[in-house]
Amino acid sequence: SLTREELLERVHAQMSEKRFVHVLGVEKAAIALAEQYGEDIEKASIAALVHDYCKERPDTDFQSYIDKQLYPEAISQFGNEIWHGLVGADIIHDELGIADSDILNAVRHHTTGSANMSLLEQIIYVADYIEEGRDFPGVEEARQKARTDLVEAVAYETQKTLTYLVEKGVPIYPKTIETYNVWVAHLS
C-alpha cells in the first residue's frame, strides 16, 4: 500500500492547489475528531486525504463506471457533485488500491451522508463541513456541535445542507433525503 507521502502526491496531482488545501484542512479536522471520539487516526487521515480525489474528474470517467457497475438508477441524472463520492469510492479502490470498506464508505457518503453512518463516516462527513477553510453562515455552530456531540453535528449539517439545496432549487439525490429522515431525530 501507499505511504502517506505517496498518497499526498497522488492526491495533489488530481486537483487544484485550492482544493488540495481544503483536503489538508479536512484531514486536520478529521484527525481531531478521531482523537476526540476514539476513531483510528490513520483511517481518518487516509479517508480525508482521498475524499475529494475525483472532484475534478471529467464526467466521462464516471460514466464508464456508472455503465458497468450497479448504482441506483437516480445517479445518472446527477453530476460530479453526487458522483465524486458515490462513484469516486470505486475509482479510488481501483486506482489507489484502497480496500478498507470503512474508508471507502466514508468517501462514498461524504456528500450525501447515509442513514447508517459508522463513526468514521460521520467524522469525514462533518470534517468536510467544518474544516478551517470553510466560511458560511452556520459553520461556527457546526464546529461547536462537533466539539460537544458528533451526532448533533451530523444532524445539523444534514438539515442545513438540505435546506440550502431546496433554497437553491436544485434536485435532491434520494440518499440525501434518506439521510435527513433518519438524522432529523437527532436535531437538538
Quote the CA–CA distance of 181 and 137 in Å, as a whole number: 23
Of 47, 49, 50, 52, the residue at the interface with ligand DGI (CB under 6 A) is: 52
For residue 62, the partner it binds in Fe ion, ligand DGI, none, with Cβ less than 5 to 8 A by kind, is none
Q: Which three cell numbers stand for residue 101?
A: 470498506
Cβ neighbourhood burial of 186 (10 Å; 0-12, 13-18, 19+)? middle
Binding mask 103-132 for ligand DGI (x = CB under 6 A): -------xxx---------------x----
| Residue 176 in contact with ligand DGI, rule: CB under 6 A | yes
Supply the minimum distance, in Å, between the C-beta of residue 130 and ligand DGI: 11
Instruction: Using the minimum distance from each CB to ligand DGI, give the nearer residue, 22 or 43.
Output: 22
3-class SS letters over 18-44:
HHHHHHHHHHHHHHHHHHHHCCCHHHH
Residue 113: left (phi > 0), alpha (psi -120 to 50), or beta?
left
Site string for ligand DGI, 64-103 (x = CB under 6 A): -----------------x---x------------------
161/60 Cα distance (integer angstroms): 27
Report if residue 173 touches ligand DGI, rule: CB under 6 A: yes
Can you give the binding site for Fe ion, defined by CB under 5 A?
52, 128
